Every structure is written in structure tokens, then in C-alpha cells.
Amino acid sequence: MHRLPREQREADLIAYYDNEIRQRAARELSPPRVLRRAEYLDLLRRDSIADLLEIGCGPGRDGIAFADAGLVYTGVDLAPQSVATARSLGLEACQASVLQLPFEDASFGAGWTMSTLLHIADTDLDAALAEILRVLRPGAPLAIGLWGDQHGSEQQWDNGSGHGPARFFSIRTDDTLKAVLERHGTLEQWLTWPGADSWHYQWAVLRRG
């Protein structure tokens, strides 16, 4: 496919998610994701981790659960309306790209990013992971969720919702994603569960060295 420049891909994502914010905020998260979040919270308690950065916070659906569990929570999102909605819940959030996070090195004890790295091109994925891990402390666990399939592809996808421009997606095979993750730390957990059509959800916990 002919890939749009990153600046245009990001602008299209902002337009789409700003327009979709009300529907996304009202949508319930899937039971498998809620279960994984509860298990991840147990991991953070066992490791005595008190603070967390969410990359791609959206309207704060996971963020409010982390804050309610007593974590010092910070969220970032590319879309300003997502940031505003998260802040309306009392969450700390700011606008930023995963490729340029506005934090000092080793600022957070844990990271959480669900479906956000879908919008990062394969050529930028190593840089995105390195930037996330830069702002996490040594030994921090990073929970990552993505949609994958058996073939892998990069595409502009228009779901016909009318919310905005077609969004860029990078769908990766399990082997491709695991190979990238293992370049950046210890792959501590890995599992998948079925999704719509031929997609499945990929769940990983990557431990920073």
C-alpha cells in the first residue's frame, strides 16, 4: 500500500477519535480485557508498584479503574478530546505522541497501552517501544494489547461510521510482534483471544531490563 506520511496519519487519527469520543466513552470494554486488567493490577500489587503511565488513554475507561485501585495515574493520548474526557473524570492526562513522550527518563513504575500501537507503522514500532521504555523505570512491566491476524498487513481502514478519515492500522502476526517485543525486554506474558472476523487480540507483558 502507499503509506501516508506520519504527520497525516496522526492528523487523521486525531480527527476520527475526536469525533468518536462520546461513543467510545459509552462503550463497555470487553470481558477478557477487564480480566487481564485485574490480573495486571495484582501483578503491580505484588511488585509494590504505585504509579502507572497509560499510552493511548482514550476517554479514561481503564484509567479510572487504575486510579480507583489507588495507583498514581498518568495518561497520554494523541486526540485532545480524549484527553479532555479523561481529565473530566479527574484523571491526570496530556496530549502526546507515543513517539515523543513529554516525560523524563525512568519516570514511571509501570506502563499500559491497549490497541494504541495498532496505529504505529512497522517502521516506527521499535522507536515507539523504545520511547515507552525510556520513561519506565528498570524492571517495570509494560502491558501491551493489539489486534493481530495470521497474515499481517498495513492499511487505511474506513469502517463507514462517518466519524472521520480512514485510520491507519498495522496488523501483525503473533510471531512478528513477539520478535519485536523480545528485542526490547523480557516477554513475561503472552496470550491471545478471538475477535471479530479473522482478527484476534494479542496480550503481552514486557518487562523492561
pLDDT in tens, 34-59: 999 999 999 999 999 999 999 999 99
- At residue 2 the predicted structure's pLDDT band, cuts being 50, 70 and 90, is low
Q: If you average pLDDT over residues 161-183, what whole number do you get?
A: 94
Q: Please state the rounded mean pLDDT for residues 88-113.
A: 98
Model pLDDT, residue 100: 97
Q: Helical H runs in the chain?
A: 6-26, 31-46, 61-68, 80-88, 122-134, 174-182
126, 180 contact by CB (below 8 A): yes
CA distance 184 to 147: 20
Question: Could you give the CA distance from residue 49 to residue 116 in angstroms, rounded to a whole number?
Answer: 23
- The answer, yes or no, to whether residue 114 has pLDDT greater than 90, is yes
- At 52-96, the pLDDT tens digits run 999 999 999 999 999 999 999 999 999 999 999 999 999 999 999
CB 172 within 8 A of CB 195: no
Interatomic CA distance for residues 146 and 171, integer angstroms: 8
Please tell me the predicted confidence (pLDDT) of residue 167.
93
Prediction pTM value:
0.95
Report the SS3 class of residue 150. coil
Whether 112 and 52 have beta carbons less than 8 Å apart is answered as yes
Question: Quick one: cell of 121?
Answer: 507503522
* pLDDT for the residue 197: 80
Extract the C-alpha cell encoding 198.
479473522
Asked if 132 and 113 touch (Cβ cutoff 8 Å), the reply is yes
Question: How would you list the strands of the sheet with 186-194, edge to edge?
Answer: 92-95, 72-77, 51-55, 111-114, 141-148, 200-207, 186-194
Task: Please tell me the predicted confidence (pLDDT) of residue 125.
Answer: 98
The x, y and z cell numbers of residue 65, run together, are: 479503574
